[in-house]
A and B are shown apart, each in its own frame.
Chain A
Amino acid sequence: MKLLSFNIQNYRSIIHSGWCNLAHDNITALIGQNESGKTSVLEALQSFYEGSISEDVLRSDLSFPIVSCKFDFDYKSLFEILEVDRIPEKLKEYLKSATQFTITRKWKEDRTSLLLVTDHEIMNYYEARELEKTAIEQKTQEEIEKLLEMAEKTFKEMELAEQVKDSAQEELSNLRKTFEEKRKAFKKAKQPDDKLIAEKELESARKAYDKAEEKFKDRLELFEKAKQETQQLSEKVTVCKQCNESIQNAFNASTELESLINRRKDIEHQYEISTDQKDQKLVYSKLQQIKNEIAVAEKRHEELQEFSSLQKAISARVLAGEPYRIAEAAAKDELALENRQYSIFNMGDLFFKYIPVFEFFEDFSSLLPNKIDLEDILNEKTHVEGFKAARNFLLIAGLNAAFFREKNHRILKQKIENLNGEITINFQDYWSQNVGKDNKIQLNFELEHYDYTHPEKSGKPYLEFWIKDKQERLYPKQRSRGVRWFLSFYLELKSTAKSNHLSRVLLIDEPGLSLHARAQEDVLKVFEDLKNTMQIVYCTHSPHLVDVNKLYRILAVQRANESDDQSESLIIDAQSLYSASSDTLSPIYSLLGVKVNNQDFIRDKNNFIVEDTICYYYLNAFYSLAGETIQPSFIPSTGLTNIPLLTNILLGWKLGFTILLLGRNRSDEILNELSRSVFFNNEEQQKKRLLQLKDFEYPEDVFSTLDFKKYVLQTRVGITSKNSEYIIENGLSRTVLASQFLNYCENKRLTIKDFDDNTRANINKLIDKIKPFIS
């Protein structure tokens, strides 16, 4: 599991770093001037891992930090962490085919943070799901509104129907009375005329009654219908009203929470500005109180939100025609399934468990004590001075409690002596500095027992540490700051590498500041040794901590406007180093200067001055590929214009040299200059000392297109121009490509046979032309 790249936003001076790739071989160096933002990169990565940020990390525009890290991905291992049935179905397929994943930590106003998986496919899935859910909820809400409106209308219609029915009933009742009266009058009438009149009136009353009865029945039917409709709606209405109420409650809870958070901010502000201790105490207690209230309100808000979601789901189903009980059960199941499935936040938290441990190396955290009680180490008394270093020491030595249980004192002493030898050899593999001639320091520990002078501990074992050289035997604390730092660094890293199998990203801020140049190179040796067990990201100013043959390891950090330390920090990756400023790249330039002192670099004869490091890399690679027995020493100038200067230096040192120029167009001007100022127009001298290879304008053009793609670019693209033109057109770094090529040739042990006819012919042609100048 590896960290592949990172992207930092709004962190101190970094506004947006863009994606920065870490070196494939696990060692990445951040170079740049002071205040350029190198340490901010390390801190941002540390914050990503730990989740905490301090106030001073925030930018003045109050935009909150966002740090994303991309990791490589092995779905089999990840599936051991994830519960397969909790992964949404659509994501399973994606995760099976994915090779990388991205985790983003976003900080909020209260400086707490959220972890999210931010790969496009995963984000898109959750966004689509959220949109779908919102759309359904919106539709349900609209339907609820419609239903409630309709229910109100139906209810009013029922009321009206009831009124009409009641009035028809009253009318019927009145007509019934009239009819009864008429019937009585008919019975009472004796005279035939009266009887006839009464009969007519009775008949008329009966008719009126019958009509009214018909009318009443109609009204009653209408009323019953309206009543039934109202009753039918009542269940849905109740559900919808409950839903609306739950939404309102959730909204109220959210408003309440918001107001509490605002109050907390006010109180925090009061706390910050209060100077009086008494006031401060009072405000502090208020702050604690409001924090408790917020915790309660958050819980309530969460519960109400969940209840509201349930009510919405039930309403949607009831509105679609499901009976309440079935709808309730189904909605609960649905929500339970949704809650069981991983959310985007769950995913973030779970994936996070899978990533390497990010550790910030602390200077001198592993300082060896002069002595420490064995009991304190074995009982893990972490507070005891020097505990960590002593424990690390024993870890590296492979010692545990069982080792010290050896009863035979002589055997134990012998074992310790052997171990001291091994540890010293291992340490000396990294620490190449001598104290005096041929006098290297040694690490020793001894097992001793307290005597009567320590009555409270008498007889108890303790470990004593020494750093020895031929002259003296000193306690660790008596050694120089540099030795102490390196030892602390050595113990910490070696023990970290040994401690467990978890993958790690070690962040180191300016390692070896107090070390001599040679010892700084030793730091690089430790990195190289540990690169298979951990990833190391460090920042440095030192040229000794940059490997010039591995420029792909570099990320350059500089301010957008270098004269303004308030401007944003930019991170430039290895492919674009050419765009970094000279000041930023000074460790690399210094390094080339430093190498000049190296005895292998300049010889008495067969020195070839070449235009730049790019020519230097390629020519060395060509010679090594061709397996030539006599390899010239190529000396890189820093551009064509500096060749005369370099030539004068070699002349001054009376060293044999040849100037090797590639191309015709660019070198003509410098040829004139050289003829004039170096060879004083002496053609004979010029012929002996100057070789112009006109066939190749740039060293990259020595390769056939196919070999250039395969071995230099290591990508499959169509190239229709010269190789050198392609590099320039695509803004690639010639230096990085050249350095990578040399490295690739060495690592893969390529020979000239691996290249095609064209490249072979060109390399041979080039070597043949150089040959006459070699003596």
Chain B
Amino acid sequence: MSHSKKDTLNDINIRFEKQKKELTESLKYASYIQKAILPTENQLKKYFPEHFLLYLPRDIVSGDFYWMARRNDRLFLAVADCTGHGVPGAFLSILGISVLNQIVGRSDCTSASGVLNTLREHIMKSLNQTGEESEQKDGIDMALCIIEPQKNILQFSGAFNPMYVIKNSNRLIEIPGDKMPIGVGAEEETSFTNHIVNIDEGDMIYLFSDGFADQFGGPKGKKFKYRPFRNLLLNINSMPMHSQKKELKESVEKWKGRIPQLDDILIFGMRYHK
């Protein structure tokens, strides 16, 4: 190869490196912003003294997010998964969080399904979605609950994502999410279902995105799936919070082996105390 060609290639490589560095720095900065709008550990601890959060973004910024708010003795908690991951997912997550804050500020939004219904309207409006076949079907999958400690009840509404409650350390109750996203779906919009669940002191509540169960790995390179996930939770639910987080993290690490992480992973677990 002639000197001049080699020089040109070197120049290109240097330029690429520079651009990559700039891009990574810029994304890192974006991730700080994203973290800043997520609830802090202290905020979570204040209302959920016993909880853990396993948050493993696939890229620097994430399409998964968690959110909490308190209004009139009600605790709102959501774990969500935006379409895509990385930058597009992160944009949608910021939109989701800001709209959730707006909705919860309104006095007329008192049911979990009402929050999801209203959030869907905002997302459809913001993304100009009208259900046309040709348009992008961006949206958010979400598990949202409203805990009312005074009544020992919990309202739950889910867009695809379910919620698990483990009672007496041995009975796992699955509260299913509706099969429609927050955003425009294939079918015409109907109201999300509002589930009401009685909760008792010491019950474990888990909200999560699909990243854990959908991770490929194991000896045959298959998905982890939900049944093993539920069994894992049944095995670990009585452990302290940090141990549960450690077990879950190790399990997914072990499962994926050399296969790269395919999606963002987010699990929020909490032990209910009145």
Contacts and interface: CB of A to CB of B under 8 A. Distances in A.
B118 interface: yes
B184 interface: yes
A718 B120 contact: yes
A60 B64 CA distance: 65
Interface string B111-132: 0000001101111111101110
Interface in B125-151: 125-127, 129-131
B118 A720 contact: yes
A718 B123 contact: yes
A720 B121 contact: yes
Q: Which of B123, B124, B127 gathers the greatest number of chain A CB atoms within 10 Å?
A: B124
Nearest to A704: B191
B7 interface: no
Interface residues of A, number: 14
A719 B126 CA distance: 10
Interface in B91-123: 117-118, 120-123
B129 A716 contact: yes
A716 B184 CA distance: 8
A728 interface: no
B196 to A, nearest CB: 14
B191 A718 contact: no
Contact of B117 (A706, A710, A715, A716): A706
B4 interface: no
Contacts of A704: 191
B266 to A, nearest CB: 26
B241 to A, nearest CB: 37
Interface residues of B, number: 18
B121 A705 contact: yes
Contacts of A716: 124, 129-131, 184, 188-189
B124 A718 contact: yes
Contacts of A720: 118, 121-122, 125
Nearest to B120: A718
A300 interface: no
B78 to A, nearest CB: 18
Interface string A684-711: 0000000000000000000011100110
A717 interface: yes
Contacts of B126: 718
A706 B130 contact: no
A96 B239 CA distance: 62
A181 interface: no
A756 interface: yes
B125 A718 contact: yes
Nearest to A758: B191
A718 B188 contact: no
Nearest to B123: A718
A716 B190 CA distance: 11
Contacts of A717: 124-125, 129-130
A709 B189 contact: yes
A717 B127 CA distance: 10
B129 A718 contact: yes
Contacts of B118: 705, 720
A757 B190 CA distance: 11
A756 to B, nearest CB: 5
A720 B131 CA distance: 17
Contacts of B188: 710, 716
A148 B122 CA distance: 68
Interface in B169-204: 184, 188-191
Contacts of A757: 191
Contacts of B123: 718
A739 B154 CA distance: 42
A716 B118 CA distance: 14
B110 to A, nearest CB: 12
Given A706-B117, A720-B121, A720-B122, A715 B191 contact: no
B107 to A, nearest CB: 14
A706 B127 CA distance: 18
B125 A719 contact: yes
A717 B129 CA distance: 6
A718 B122 contact: yes
A706 B189 contact: yes
Contacts of B124: 716-718
Contacts of A715: 130
A756 B113 CA distance: 13
Interface string A742-765: 000000000000001110000000
Residue from A717, A720, A758 with most neighbouring chain B CB atoms (10 Å): A720
Nearest to A717: B130
A701 to B, nearest CB: 12
B150 to A, nearest CB: 24
Contacts of B129: 716-718
A719 B184 contact: no
A716 B189 CA distance: 8
A715 B124 CA distance: 12
B121 A718 contact: yes
B226 to A, nearest CB: 30
Interface string A393-408: 0000000000000000
Nearest to A716: B131
A695 to B, nearest CB: 12
13 contacts: A704-B191, A705-B117, A709-B189, A716-B130, A716-B184, A717-B124, A717-B125, A717-B130, A718-B120, A718-B124, A718-B125, A719-B125, A756-B191
- The list of the 10 closest CB pairs from A to B, nearest first, reads A718-B124, A718-B125, A716-B131, A718-B121, A720-B122, A720-B121, A719-B121, A720-B125, A716-B130, A756-B191
Interface of B: 117-118, 120-127, 129-131, 184, 188-191
Given A706-B190, A719-B121, 5 more contacts: A705-B117, A709-B189, A710-B188, A716-B188, A757-B191
